[in-house]
Structure 1
Amino acid sequence: MTQSSSPSKLSLSSSFIPKPFLHFRPNSPVPTKLNRPPYFKILFSASQPPPPPPPLPPSSMPTTSDAKTLNLISFIGAIPDWADRIQERGMRQNRALYDHEKWVHHRSSQRHLRHLLSSLQSRVILSLVPPVLAFTSVAVVVATYNTAVDLHWLPDFFPMLRASSLPYQLTAPALALLLVFRTEASYSRYEEGRKAWTKVIAGTNDLARQVIAGVDNSVDDQPIKSALLHYIMAFPVALKCHVLYGSDIGRDLQNLIEVDDLAVILNSKHRPRCIIDFISQSLKLLNLEETKRTALESTISCFHEGIGVCDQLMGVPIPLSYTRLTSRFLVLWHLTLPIILWDDCHWIVVPATFISAASLFCIEEVGVLIEEPFPMLPLDELCIVVQNNIKETMATEKDIQARVKGKRKRNSYKHSPNGCPNPNTQCC
């Protein structure tokens, strides 16, 4: 074994290849693993990449059966995920206000055919694919098992799955009442949310009208008046973004509120209340009589009432025990329905279970959807209508004011005691 006379030089390059310093004879018993000179790399970086994970032992490697099981589980879980995505996409869809043409289309005699042909486009029906498919599959399994037992394909100790229909006849009215009460309670919440927003929209229009008519267009009050009207228009938008999931309040208010004010609103914990504070502070800066200021501030109370109702509807659902009872009742009903109907229907239990599950679960699904009323209301359209009304009133304010003042300059008719418009005119 000899050593090289010239040592290898280390350079600051990204890689270098040192000369080998060990030499073995060809017939040496020691295995020569250094036939290929070692190759080193120096990486000059702030953070070294993490080392690769160690290889899995053969016992922990997934087998073919495990891979098939994972694929089956992922396929079964993909159906509810797909239905939930359709449902959430429908919840974020903008609702439209009805006009005369839409009402004519709504009450058309062809509505039944139109609704039937659009069934596969209904998010309510598509969201029911997982439960309806599951219960229909249970009916197929029960029918297959009973057929196998009836044809003696199974040993004799396997029993036939059948039962009396008397328990179902006794519990069917209870299930019907439970579904009716569930949907009625949900509709009462929808109606309460609609009334709350009706008061908010009416209060917004009323407050804007009072500000436009009661505040003079003086040099000092004009900037505050303009900002105040924009705050009033922004309040329904902020409340809409507060109650709707996935709303972008920064995008919706960027054309109504100045950048500095918008930053304060975005940083606040409760944005509708923050806009109310802007409205209150603006009213204090206006040169108004105390009676007018009090009347304007009293109008803001409808805003607080609307916020209270919306927060209550958002935070307090229908008692969860009631919702769970309805869901459990429906599940147990349809799990045992094929067994109850087997003696009378045989293989018809499959379409019968499908129709029953699609009908009853659809009623329950509608109750769950309208339990949160705000995605069902046309809030975007209402906010746009309010903004257009206020902007139109601001644009026609000077013209209407000039026309009304011009009427005072005209010669008014002096009515005589006998009802004639002019005292010099004799009435017949």
Structure 2
Amino acid sequence: MIVREKPGFLALFFVFQGSIAPRVMPQIILVSLLAALTVVLHDHFPDFFPELTTTSFGFIGVALSLYLGFRNNACYERWWEGRKLWGQLLVEGRSLLRLSLSYRGQDSERHQRMVRRLIGFTQCLRDQLRGTDPMPGLANWLSFAELAQIEASVNRPEAILGLLGEQLATEVKSGGLDPVTVRNFEQRLVSLSEVVAGCERLGNTPLPFAYMLLVHRICYIYCLLLPFGLVASSGILTPLLTAIVAYAFFGLDELSQELENPFGQTDNGLALDSMTRTFERECLQALGTPTLPEPHASKNFRLS
């Protein structure tokens, strides 16, 4: 995720970190070359080109803008929902930390086991959403028996929540916690399970492919035909004007694809590493660890 102040007027045109421009540059160059070729042909064979006006292109442009606007709003809503889900994860995780510390004490073995499992759960969910293997990182927080159980599970974050639930059941049977207190713990675990399900819903349910295909086709058709409508009135400025329109339309389309998956490791993806490290620091503090890992800092304005 890009974190930086708004650049100045001149710097605004030279910012590439986080910009969508490099990714749509091939399309911009393509339509600009086509526009330049159209200008040359129009100068040598003016009768070859039909007398097109910009009015018809204006109507198509408005329709395309509505399509792109709707798609970008839908993708940003997915991005923002992903951020709210991880915000809920932090809230429920901190609530579990507070309950465990209050009812067990910092030196309790059961408290330490729950906190380590919470760290493992957060990191496991992050890695699962990004499609990476969480097992190497989990080795720092779970026992060998727990690792074997988690590795054999279909849904590993839910399996860690299952371990936490089993721990609470054991404590009830042994008289370590009363049923009312356990109910408070269980409510937090249910909320964390809802976070997992919400993140899976975002990750496994993309926007309809047919809608994406429709927007792609209209963008290409519009930008490839636009030089023929501008060349008669704009002349040598046709490539520049076409490039600006292509940057706007292709850029919005590409940006919406990036926001569609809020958990990806892109410049505009959510900073899951930073949020995971924040929660890890709070968990280690709840364990009484004297030296905490440093929080993640942005590199070249990018916070991962």
TM-score by length of 2: 0.85
DSSP 3-state at the match of 1:288 = coil
TM-superposed deviation, 1:195: 0.9
* Corresponding residue for residue 377 of structure 1: 270
Query: Which amino acid in structure 2 is aligned with residue 188 of structure 1?
Result: E
TM-superposed deviation, 1:294: 1.7
More off after superposition, 327-336 vs 209-218: 209-218
Q: How far apart are the structure 2 equivalents of 1:192 and 1:133?
A: 35
The question of 1:271 aligning with 2:271 is answered no
Alignment of 1:217-296 (within 5 A): 222-245=108-131, 247-286=132-171, 287-296=176-185
Distance 1:320 1:201, change over 3 A: same
The question of 1:323 aligning with 2:216 is answered no
Q: How far apart are the structure 1 equivalents of 2:278 and 2:32?
A: 47
Does the 8 A contact of 1:162 with 1:342 survive in 2? Answer: no
The question of 1:208 aligning with 2:97 is answered yes
Distance 1:134 1:275, change over 3 A: same
* Corresponding residue for residue 116 of structure 1: 13
DSSP 3-state at the match of 1:256 = coil
Q: How far apart are the structure 1 equivalents of 2:236 and 2:114?
A: 70
Query: Which amino acid in structure 1 is aligned with residue 54 of structure 2?
Result: S
* Corresponding residue for residue 311 of structure 1: 200
Does the 8 A contact of 1:224 with 1:285 survive in 2? Answer: no
TM-superposed deviation, 1:208: 1.6
* Corresponding residue for residue 5 of structure 2: 106
Query: Which amino acid in structure 2 is aligned with residue 203 of structure 1?
Result: E
TM-superposed deviation, 1:202: 0.7
Q: Mind listing any 5+ residue stretches in structure 2 that lack a counterpart?
A: 290-304
Alignment of 1:121-140 (within 5 A): 121-122=17-18, 124-140=20-36
Structure with the higher fraction of residues in helix conformation: 2
RCO higher in structure (CA 8 A, sep ≥6): 2
* Corresponding residue for residue 42 of structure 2: 146
Query: Which amino acid in structure 2 is aligned with residue 385 of structure 1?
Result: T
Does the 8 A contact of 2:112 with 2:287 survive in 1? Answer: no
TM-superposed deviation, 1:393: 2.2
Q: How far apart are the structure 2 equivalents of 1:199 and 1:343?
A: 57
Q: How far apart are the structure 2 equivalents of 1:112 and 1:293?
A: 57
Does the 8 A contact of 1:142 with 1:161 survive in 2? Answer: no
Q: How far apart are the structure 2 equivalents of 1:234 and 1:115?
A: 41
Does the 8 A contact of 1:208 with 1:229 survive in 2? Answer: yes
Q: How far apart are the structure 1 equivalents of 2:275 and 2:184?
A: 25
Q: How far apart are the structure 2 equivalents of 1:248 and 1:116?
A: 39
Distance 1:364 1:294, change over 3 A: same
* Corresponding residue for residue 293 of structure 2: none
Does the 8 A contact of 2:104 with 2:110 survive in 1? Answer: no
Q: How far apart are the structure 2 equivalents of 1:186 and 1:228?
A: 36
1:7-40: CA deviation from partner (whole Å, max 9, x where unpaired)? xxxxxxxxxxxxxxxxxxxxxxxxxxxxxxxxxx
TM-superposed deviation, 1:142: 2.3
Does the 8 A contact of 1:146 with 1:161 survive in 2? Answer: no
Distance 1:383 1:342, change over 3 A: same
Query: Which amino acid in structure 2 is aligned with residue 256 of structure 1?
Result: W
Does the 8 A contact of 2:60 with 2:222 survive in 1? Answer: no
- Equivalent pairs, count: 282
TM-score by length of 1: 0.61
1:245-265: CA deviation from partner (whole Å, max 9, x where unpaired)? 3x3412322322223322322
Q: How far apart are the structure 2 equivalents of 1:339 and 1:187?
A: 34
Does the 8 A contact of 1:204 with 1:233 survive in 2? Answer: no
Query: Which amino acid in structure 1 is aligned with residue 161 of structure 2?
Result: I
Distance 1:348 1:217, change over 3 A: closer
**Equivalent position to 1:363, from 234, 252, 258:** 252
Q: How far apart are the structure 1 equivalents of 2:24 and 2:92?
A: 40
Larger of the two Rg values belongs to structure: 1
The question of 1:395 aligning with 2:288 is answered yes
